[in-house]
């Protein structure tokens, strides 16, 4: 079929032509047969709109209600006070400490919900000071001699939701007009959204099931939690100067299987990650409650049955370390290698890699009752927070092990333990303090409390 000439001209009125070759993409917009716009994108000139940076205030110019922000770009970014958002003071306090808010601005900050938009802009000028750190999100690319335009009203977009860190509301797109659907979405998200976050529900979320909404919420939350993540590089980078530890004091009690035990473990991981901990340390043999169903067996057979869970627990911890953006030290668990029983644990890094460590010196009770063997090797591990070592309980009482680790540059020593008396706990505690003094490093310990009346040889725990 022939296309009429008039229609041909109509169809060809506006065109977009895309050409990609090597490391360069070119996009041309044709209007009425003439070039209207040309975009050229190279690897050195990638789009940055939406990127979030930890930046520094370079200059505050209250006269034009704006500030210039050093984001590491060739030109300072431009922040107009109208783009400061409602949570500027919270981000500044988060990155600089509560005393970073000038005294003359604190009264207005406490009453900011009642301020007009104009007064909020004036407040931004009072809060911002040269040298402060703040989070900035690029909203407009740099043009010519001008730097990028930024906002401190941070948003993280997903497929169905837009996450508002520091927000406390749920907003539904006005294009979702069905009242029942609006109420359903708000009801579903009110149970999912953590405290301290707000969300905007996009139009495409209409009629999506709860699982799809939950998956999208998890994705945007993970982006926020990983906001400080940096891609691996061969360049020398400084270590973190502040490292937070989450030390789990585990309560020994009956659990109805592995799923319930790991649900409790995830609760602790979730909790310490909300405090922005870099490590979570679990105690030695924290999974001992799972031996209860095999209490009719001998002690040696029961501990070997417990070893059947070790691989699954390791894999689940690795998934949690990625999901919650935290390095997890799994305490210790029994493991059978070539028929021999060992006391081992795993370092599950938040980048997905896993390392194994062993207990070198087993206690006389572990050897006699369980038939456990001592390990053969130990090492230090590199992490994004420095070099660490792990000594399981009794191993911390032998100075030579930590001394060799310190020679390798260990910064933090972790000691998961299990003791049943005050004397046993004191021995681990004071030996850990001695290792810290001897090796000039940090030492962190974590143990269990409670009792397991239905597990032989694990009756009571003291920490």
Express each pLDDT in 20-34 by its tens digit: 776 777 888 888 778
Among 144, 142, 46, 126, residue whose Cα is nearest residue 89: 126
The domain boundary, picked from 104, 122, 151, lies at 151
Mean pLDDT calculated for residue range 53-57:
87
For the cut 80, the answer to whether the pLDDT of residue 3 exceeds it is: no
Beta bridge partners of 268: none
Cα–Cα dist 25/21, whole Å: 6
**CA 347 centroid distance within chain:** 16
In this model, does residue 9 exceed pLDDT 80? no
For residue 326, tell me if it sits in a domain. yes
Q: Are residues 35 and 133 in the same domain?
A: no
DSSP output for 144-197? TTB--EEESS--EE-SSEEEEET---EEE-TT---HHHHHHHHHHHHHHSPTTE
Q: Which residues pair with 53 in a beta bridge?
A: 136
Distances (CA, A) of 63 to 107, 121, 136, 243: 22, 11, 21, 40
Over the stretch 146-162, which tens digit does the pLDDT of each residue have? 888 988 888 888 899 99
| 358 and 410 together in one domain | yes
* pTM of the predicted structure, to 2 decimals: 0.53
Same domain for 282 and 389, yes or no, is: yes
Examine the domain organization and report whether 160 and 146 are in the same domain: no
If you average pLDDT over residues 278-302, what whole number do you get? 91
pLDDT on residue 224: 84
Contact status, residue 16 vs residue 28, Cβ threshold 8 Å: yes
Whole-angstrom Cα distance, residue 279 to residue 272?
Answer: 8
Kindly state whether residue 235 falls inside one of the protein's structural domains.
no
- Establish if 232 belongs to a structural domain: no
Please give the structure tokens belonging to residue 349: 């890094």
Report strand pairing: 149-151 vs 133-140: antiparallel
- Summarize the chain as % helix, strand, coil (round to 5): 35, 30, 35
Share of the chain above pLDDT 70, in %: 92
1, pLDDT greater than 50:
no
Residue 321 structure tokens? 């370390």
- Give how many domains the chain has, as a whole number: 4
Q: Tell me what pLDDT residue 6 has.
A: 45
Q: How confident is residue 44, by pLDDT bands cut at 50, 70 and 90? A: low
**Phi/psi-derived region of residue 270, left when phi > 0, alpha when psi is between -120 and 50, beta in every other case:** alpha
CA distances from 93 to 66, 153, 390 (A): 20, 15, 35
Tens digits of residue pLDDT in 353-380? 999 999 999 999 999 999 999 999 889 9
The phi and psi torsions of 243 (rounded to 5 degrees) equal -120, 130
Predicted confidence band at 12 (pLDDT cuts at 50, 70, 90)?
low
Q: What is the CATH number of the domain that holds 140?
A: 2.40.50.140
Look over the chain and give the mean of its residue pLDDT values, rounded to a whole number: 87
Q: Quick check: is 59 in a domain? A: yes
Q: Which of 30, 12, 51 is nearest to 39 (CA)?
A: 30
Count of CB atoms situated within 10 Å of the CB of 1 = 2
Q: Which entry of 120, 348, 359, 385 is annotated as an active-site residue?
A: 359
Helix (H) or strand (E) holding 335: strand 333-337
Q: What is the CA radius of gyration of the chain?
A: 29
Within-domain flag for 129: yes
Instruction: State which of 159-168, 282-291, 294-303 shows the largest mean pLDDT.
Output: 282-291
**98 close to 110: Cβ distance less than 8 angstroms:** no
The confidence band for 113, taking pLDDT boundaries of 50, 70 and 90, is confident
Q: Where are the beta strands (DSSP E) in 349-441?
A: 354-358, 372-373, 381-383, 386-390, 412-416
Of 348, 385, 393, 441, catalytic? 393
Same domain, 30 and 57: no
pLDDT in tens, 190-237: 888 888 888 999 999 998 999 999 999 998 888 887 765 555 656 544
The reply to whether 312 belongs to the active site is no
pLDDT 10s digits, 308-356? 999 999 999 999 999 899 999 999 999 999 999 999 999 999 989 999 9
pLDDT at 240: 65
218 and 127, same structural domain? no
In a domain, 231, yes or no: no
Contact 432, 396 (CB under 8 A): yes
Task: In whole angstroms, give the CA distance from residue 335 to residue 129.
Answer: 56
Closest C-alpha among 87, 88, 80 to residue 140: 80
- Please check whether residue 62 lies inside any domain of the structure: yes
Q: Is the pLDDT of residue 304 over 90?
A: yes
Which CATH number characterizes residue 198's domain? 3.30.230.10
User: Among 243, 250, 284, 278, which Cα is nearest to 428's?
Assistant: 284
In the set 120, 284, 348, 431, the catalytic residue is 284
The yes-or-no verdict on residue 4 having pLDDT over 60 is: no
Q: Is residue 239 part of a domain?
A: no
Residues of the domain holding 134: 52-151
Per the annotation, the verdict on 235 as an active-site residue is no
431 in catalytic set: no
What was the pLDDT predicted at 191? 87
Pair 336, 420 in one domain: yes
pLDDT in tens, 224-248: 877 655 556 565 445 566 899 999 9
């Amino acid at each position: 079929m022939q296309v009429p000439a008039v229609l041909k001209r109509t169809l060809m009125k506006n065109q977009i032509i895309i050409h990609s070759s090597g490391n360069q993409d070119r996009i041309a917009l044709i209007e009425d047969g003439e070039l209207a716009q040309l975009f050229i994108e190279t690897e050195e000139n990638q789009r940055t709109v939406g990127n979030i940076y930890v930046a520094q205030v370079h200059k505050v110019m209250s006269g034009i209600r704006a500030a210039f922000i050093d984001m590491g770009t060739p030109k300072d970014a431009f922040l107009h006070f109208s783009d400061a958002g409602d949570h500027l003071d919270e981000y500044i306090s988060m990155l600089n400490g509560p005393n970073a808010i000038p005294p003359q601005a604190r009264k207005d900050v406490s009453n900011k919900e009642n301020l007009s938009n104009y007064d909020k802009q004036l407040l931004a000028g009072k809060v911002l000071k040269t040298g402060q750190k703040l989070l900035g999100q690029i909203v407009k690319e740099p043009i010519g001699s001008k730097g990028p335009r930024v906002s401190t009203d941070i948003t993280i977009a997903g497929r169905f939701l837009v996450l508002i860190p520091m927000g406390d509301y749920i907003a539904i797109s006005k294009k979702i007009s069905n009242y029942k659907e609006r109420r359903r979405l708000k009801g579903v998200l009110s149970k999912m959204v953590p405290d301290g976050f707000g969300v905007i529900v996009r139009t495409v979320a209409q009629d999506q099931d709860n699982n799809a909404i939950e998956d999208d919420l998890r994705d945007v939350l993970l982006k926020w939690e990983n906001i400080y993540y940096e891609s691996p590089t061969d360049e020398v980078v400084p270590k973190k100067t502040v490292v937070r530890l989450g030390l789990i004091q585990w309560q020994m009690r009956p659990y109805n299987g592995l799923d319930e035990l790991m649900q409790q473990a995830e609760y602790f991981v979730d909790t310490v990650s909300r405090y922005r901990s870099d490590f979570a340390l679990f105690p030695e043999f924290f999974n001992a409650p799972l031996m209860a169903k095999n209490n009719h067996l001998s002690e040696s057979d029961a501990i070997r049955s417990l070893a059947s869970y070790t691989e699954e627990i390791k894999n689940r911890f690795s998934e949690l370390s990625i999901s919650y953006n935290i390095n997890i030290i799994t305490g210790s668990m029994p493991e059978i290698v070539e028929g021999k029983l060992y006391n081992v644990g795993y370092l599950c890094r938040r980048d997905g890699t896993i390392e194994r460590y062993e207990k070198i010196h087993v206690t006389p009770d572990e050897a006699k009752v369980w038939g456990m063997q001592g390990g053969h090797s130990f090492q230090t591990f590199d992490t994004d927070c420095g070099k660490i070592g792990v000594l399981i309980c009794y191993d911390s009482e032998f100075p030579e092990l930590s001394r060799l680790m310190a020679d390798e540059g260990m910064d933090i020593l972790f000691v998961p333990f299990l003791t049943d008396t005050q004397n046993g706990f004191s021995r681990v505690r004071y030996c850990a303090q001695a290792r810290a003094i001897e090796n000039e490093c940090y030492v962190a310990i974590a143990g269990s409390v409670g009792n397991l009346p239905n597990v032989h040889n694990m009756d009571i725990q003291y920490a």
